[in-house]
Structure 1
Amino acid sequence: MQQQRRALVMLMVLVLHVISTTTTQVCCCLLEEKRALLDFKASINETRYAHLLLPSWTNINGSENGVDEEASSSDCCNWEGVKCSNTTGRIVELQLRNLRHNIYKEAFYENRDWYLNMSTFLSLTHLQALDLGYNNFQSGVEDCGQLASLENLESLNLDYNYFNISIIPCITAIPALKTLSLAGNYFLTGLFSVEDCGQLASLENLESLNLDYNGFNISIIPCVTSIPALKTLSLAGNNLEGVFPVEDCGQLASLENLESLNLDYNGFNISIIPCVTSIPALKTLSLAGNNLEGVFPVEDCGQLASLENLESLNLDDNYFNISIIPCITAIPALKTLSLAENNLEGVFPVEEFNHLTQLKNLNLSYTGLQGPLSFKELKLEKLEVLNLEGTQMKELLSIEVMTSLKALSLSGIGINDSSILEEKSMSDFSLDKKKWNSQQKVEQSSIQNT
């Protein structure tokens, strides 16, 4: 009997413990953090369309300036763009992207200056992710040196604003930053100073950096290569043109953890190849829209083959001829390959492509490749997406053997799509270019997340 009582008491204690732990979730955000959000909204100083700017961000009495006790029943964790921790009630994420779109609608780029007062975020000490992209904030940034207090901030997106180079010391003050995107800030141009380089190197935890479309010149390379933990780097659409300096090649090789590199639309010539092939862990490489042309040097072929981990390669919109094919097909782990809009005139080199046994996505659109092509000879057993749009492939034979194929794009080559579908007889088969694009993005995303 005594043992039963003891067991009952223990059971009651356990039940009370479970109840207490499941009811300790905080229901509302802190008053101090609510004040910070309202201060941020007020600092934008939008007068004409104030009622359309973050309309859920308001006190219970409708006031938008300051916070009083009456507002404490209004939970800012339910405001648009705000995410709070379920256990602490502290704000951990702010998604404040493209705020102008909701205000100006058709007049999205109306010339109204917004200025960012970063000091309004200083009390959000549990903040982990902040997205302020596409807001056209002007170059002035107030009190940003105090951002070091945001010791939990790991992701910062400031894409498509009007910040100048003075933003760099503000960002590098954030100690835990892992992901940083500054794409499309039109005043981050030209020469990167030695001081700025050193400050970037202080971002010891930074793993992903996007500086697309800023107008940087080649002097940015030593700066970004000084970031030790970098895994993803995108410098598309800058002025990194011409011959790649030999010393910068060696610096790229120092990025031992780099897995994804995007250098699209920079005007590089063929001298970039030995530099990128020196990066040991590279899985994704994009060099679309550069001046990579003509016969591919034999020595560069061997260097491409050294990229043992490379799974995705994009060389779209260059000037390569068909001599590039044997070089690329020597890359053993390749899963996604895009060579669209090159000068690959000639017969489809089946034997060369058969070396790519892991290939899933292949884009050869607008390359001038010629047929006929027999799929019985093409031994790509894992191929899921094939884009032959705008080529000279006048005849495709035995497509029924491609059991793994899910999407095929043939527009502009004079083949009857319906006959291909009938021969393939697959309910999920698609001849849509959009399917190619979506499949390619999914594949590249999965590679970068591995």
Structure 2
Amino acid sequence: MIVFLLYAAIFVASFYIVKLVVQKTTTDYTSLKTVTFGDESAVRPNRIASFVSIGTIFLLWGAFTGSSWIPGFLHAPGPFMGDATFTYTATANGQQPDDAEVTIRVFEVGTDVEVPIVDLGEGWAKNDADTVGAWRSGLVRVDKNDEYGRDDGHTITAVNGNPIKPGDSVETDYGRVGMSAKGTLNFEPSKGWQMEPIWLPSPEAVVARFGDIAANGYRGSSLWAHLGISLQRVILGFVFGALVGIPLGYAMGLSDWFRGWFDPIVEFMRPVPPLALIPLVIIWAGIGETGKVILLFLAALWIMAIAARAGVSGVAISKVHAAYSLGASKAQIMRHVIVPNSLPEIFTGARVAMGVCWGTVVAAELVAAEQGAGMMIMVASKFQLTDIVLMGIILIGIIGFGIDILMRFAEKALVPWKGKI
């Protein structure tokens, strides 16, 4: 919640600051245009906002993971590390209440640490020492070295002067001291606001993992082999889906019989998520490469069919009548009117289909795959290697964004008349 509130605050502050600076330094005539559609739209991405957005995400990521790439004063409060102390009060049968001090060394998990040496003190309740990892908690058997143990009625009644009983807890300067149902103290050091690396590693940890896997590979294959096989599966599934879906969409847009026959099937399958088809595809085609391509084919098929159908249905009837009046044949109308006017919708559907296929291939590779980005993420998650999981997610997002940019360029090159006719 804190992260989202900070993100929203930065968004609002950046918006007003950038607008104020732009208004004082330039005159934005574009914003005075009447907003239309297509290439004449007055709404364009604000590149400053894009850079600030990416920078904000990186800043919050580093701040809440204690990244060395972020200045220390921007770090969110981190977990307590060092020697924590608290005092407990104990009673025993026939003995006056006595106080003793507990020293707990809180250390970074994965590093070597020694139990601190403390003076036992002079009372029957002896001082204690123990260790606990940061973001962890641990039971502290303070009675194990006291002169009177549990067999002698040893009972803890207070922590730092605050009464405590089973189920209660006391907050200290270093963390929370609770008491279990059996009367054993449990120390949980303050966690702060930063995320534990097992949940969210720092940016430099992810980059270091990327460098290691790029150089040494992962599970017998190079990083580029994993990404390449995923991309190959996506392209095959998309191409087959387009080869079937586009003619199907044209047929549905041009023929009432085809529209009536296939419309229930397409509209039924359209809302079904591709992931729901995985069990059925496994039963039909097995867990090999064929099954994965079939799943991606089904993911692209319905999107491409609907895009082609919408493209044909959106052709202005006046253009068709004009072509007929000039003596055009049906083939010429198809070639010079229907296809050019439907291509923008088809390219839009293709971008959507590629995005869906790229997202689906990760799930498809979760099932018995030996290579692929999804396989990397699945195996890493089993061993809680969050840096590999996050690295895989980032690479998937970058490649997916790159594919979309390439398709935009292809659309501009192949359909230059979009928004102009």
Give the TM-score normalised by the residue count of structure 1.
0.23
The structure in which a higher percent of residues are helix is 2
Q: Which has the larger radius of gyration?
A: 2
Give the TM-score normalised by the residue count of structure 2.
0.24
Higher relative contact order by CA 8 Å / sep ≥ 6: 1 or 2? 2
